[in-house]
Amino acid sequence: MDTRKQRICILGNSVGFKMRPPRQSAEEKTYGEILSDNGYCVRNISKAGVMLNEAFASLDDELITWFPDTVIIQFGVVEMCQRQTSRRLNNRLIKNYYLNMVHGRAYVFDSLFTKVLETLGRIVNGGGRRFVGLVGLRWQWLSLDRFLSVLEAVLEHVNKETGAMTLMVGINPVSPRITRILPDSGEIIEAANAAMKNLAARFPGRVRFLDMKELIGGNMVETTVPDGIHLSAQGHRLLAERILDELGTRSLRP
């Protein structure tokens, strides 16, 4: 197979392109870069902090018109983990961090006015989170049912418009750090991954589910997902190897 003509489009959140800890040398590469080194034409349209329902709005502009042969979808952790604050308030308090069109805001300069607003916002958010914690309330930014509904719509649209094979990457297994910060996340992610696997089975021959727990779980979590969310250089390489297996071109180049 001539992989030089094969197009791969990666659709996800920051898990699809960030590396933790940040790369220390040019030899450390994301899985998208490794796929590119192996002869594929890769387009990564992942965006930090974006949920699947938000990414849906740009499917035609960024994915369909490129007409890829393979689509890699990597979402779930932002949507599924339970929080003690609303998404809108959380994102409003994050300054100069999410640098993409979904969260597009102009650069915020420091001034007395912005510092006062920021302080007030953190007071309100902190007080709200303490109250919510006391009464035991938590919620997902997107429920599992809604997440699966959007995911199915994405799969159907990609299949209809491009006929591309889709690799659905499961949510990374959580580390003890994330379990402490976001209680019950481990059980929620396992349930979400099981539901995603079942959804993939409804598209035989068109959608394949990649189980990240099988790939990097167990004793490997601390080294492959060191911050509890994003892959390390080792994690990216292991995922790249698995994807190349799925594509039938395992001969990994350095």
pLDDT digits over 118-141, tens only? 787 777 767 766 665 667 667 788
Confidence tier at 107 by pLDDT (50, 70, 90): low
Give the closest residue to 215 by CA, choosing from 228, 197, 234. 234
Per-residue model confidence (pLDDT) at position 120? 79
Mean pLDDT of the chain: 86
Per-residue model confidence (pLDDT) at position 201? 97
pLDDT above 70: residue 98: no
Residue-by-residue DSSP string for 75-88? --HHHHSEESS-HH
Q: What mean pLDDT comes out for the span 28-38?
A: 96
pLDDT above 70: residue 4: no
Per-residue model confidence (pLDDT) at position 68? 95
177 CB-near residues (< 8 Å, 6+ apart): 227, 228
Per-residue model confidence (pLDDT) at position 203? 96
In this structure, what DSSP letter does residue 204 have? T
Structural domains in the chain?
3-83+143-247 (3.40.50.1110), 85-137 (no CATH)
CA 108 to chain centre: 26
Q: What mean pLDDT comes out for the span 166-177?
A: 90
This prediction has a pTM of 0.86
Per-residue model confidence (pLDDT) at position 81? 83
Burial of residue 163 (CB within 10 Å: 0-12, 13-18, 19+) is exposed
pLDDT above 50: residue 252: no
